[in-house]
Structure 1
Amino acid sequence: MSAAVAALGASLKKGRIKIVLIAAAVLLLLGGGAAYLINRSMSADDEEVEVEVQDAPEDADAEQYDPRSAPVFVQLEVFTVNLADRDTDRFAQVGVTLEVEDQKAVEQIKAFMPVIRNNILLVLSNKSSASVRDEPGKRRLAAELRAQALRPLGYEVNPDDLVEEPAPGASAPAGSRPRKPRRLMALPIKAVHFSNFIVQ
């Protein structure tokens, strides 16, 4: 009886060893096949992709966008103001976000926030609904807000020098001539963005 049990135990061990060996062989085959396919697809991708690197022009601005650094934003509370329309009562609800140079600029803006908000409110309340309905009007408004937000930080800038040009391919207003942007010193507030803009 014990000899039969011993023989049965030996055959079970041999069976387990065979199963483990078969499983290991299958895993090796699958792993090798997967590695082959990955290497093949990577080498095919390497052959197809060509990267062309061009030298930056010598007259390029020293302060170009660095894709490794994320932009820094300061979001202001939404402004609700009565507009300067004479024929009827109109108001605007405007969300303003300032794009700033760095964290140091964020701290400066926080220190002068009451003055910056006051300046922005004064600009908004002097606008008519017609002057801010179209895209050029909004671009002009963004430039004026940027100039007024820079004043408490010690920068006197003409808003005309801050008006952003429309994106390439965008239609310019009828009768307008393209304007060459003026080179300005690096300013701590890089842009004004509208997060919402409602005129009623």
Structure 2
Amino acid sequence: MANSKAAKLQAVPPEGTPDASAGKPGKRKLVVLLAVVAALLSGAGVWLTSTDGRAWLAARLEPKPPSPIYVALESMTVNLQPDNGDRYLQIGIVLKSYDKEADGLVKMFMPELRSRVLLLLSSKTPAELYQADGKQKLVKEILALTRQPYSTTVSDLKVKDVLFTNFVIQ
């Protein structure tokens, strides 16, 4: 009987040692590490679906817009159609584009472009150009001029906006 009692005592693990149901110490660390990683990933997922997270993600994923290219035309002075006596317009125009070819195209066809713009400007009266909406209309008309064919191979100067740097009616 003493032998069977001693055998039973030896089958019980001593205190301080993990028993068979607890697993190995490395396995417990792995489970804790996986739980921490899962919590971090779920927190990141919640943040990315929030408004701030979506904005942050969109800012990194969207391609950056190209830098604008500005081409300045020489300042122009033109006689306006008479309302009450002689009036003239002194104007500075800058063309804005996002196409790298636009600078070369505008410079290549500068004499023809200037001629078209001068003809347009000389057809205006001071009353048309005094108001802001008259200036906006002029921007659209100059844009239309840049979109007309300039040769058999160039149908558009690729200009996206017209900016006035000087606008004086006297």
**TM-score range normalised by the length of the shorter chain:** 0.5 to 0.7
| Residue matched to 1:133 | 130
Match of 1:113 in 2: 110
Which of 121, 143, 147 pairs up with 1:146? 143
SS of the residue 2:160 aligns to: strand
Tell me, yes or no, if the aligned pair for 1:96 and 1:195 is still in contact at 8 Å: yes
Give how far 1:137 is off: 0.4
AA matched with 1:191 = D
2:86 to 85, 89, 92: 89
- Larger Cα-atom Rg: 2
Q: How does 1:8-157 map to 2 (within 5 A)?
A: 50-53=52-55, 67-151=64-148, 152=150, 153-155=154-156
- The CA RMSD measured in Å over matched residues stands at 2.5
State the Cα deviation string for residues 82-109 of structure 1 (Å, max 9, x = none): 0012421000111000012322121111
1:51 Cα deviation after fit: 4.9
Q: Percent identity?
A: 35
Aligned to 1:194: 164
Which amino acid counterpart does residue 83 of structure 1 have in structure 2? L
**Residues 120, 149 of structure 1: 8 Å contact kept:** no
TM-score (norm: length of structure 1): 0.51
Please give the secondary structure, in 2, of the residue aligned with 1:192.
Answer: strand
What's the TM-score, normalizing by structure 2? 0.59
Question: What are the Cα deviations for residues 52-94 of structure 1, in whole angstroms up to 9, with x where unaligned?
Answer: 42999xxxxxxxxx65532101011011000012421000111
Task: Provide the C-alpha distance between the structure 2 equivalents of 1:150 and 1:193, rounded to a whole number of angstroms.
Answer: 16
Name the SS of the counterpart of 1:73 in structure 2: strand
- What secondary structure is seen at the aligned counterpart in 1 of 2:101? helix
> Which sections of structure 2, spanning at least 5 residues, go unmatched?
1-51
Task: String of CA shifts for 1:128-183, please: whole Å, max 9, x gaps.
Answer: 0110111110000011111112222424xxxxxxxxxxxxxxxxxxxxxxxxxxxx
The residue identity in structure 1 corresponding to 2:86 is D
Tell whether the 8 Å contact from 1:119 to 1:149 is kept in structure 2 after alignment. no
**Cα distance in structure 2, aligned partners of 1:82 and 1:73:** 27
**Contact 1:93 1:196 survives alignment (8 Å):** yes
8 Å Cα contact 1:82/1:90 also seen in 2? yes
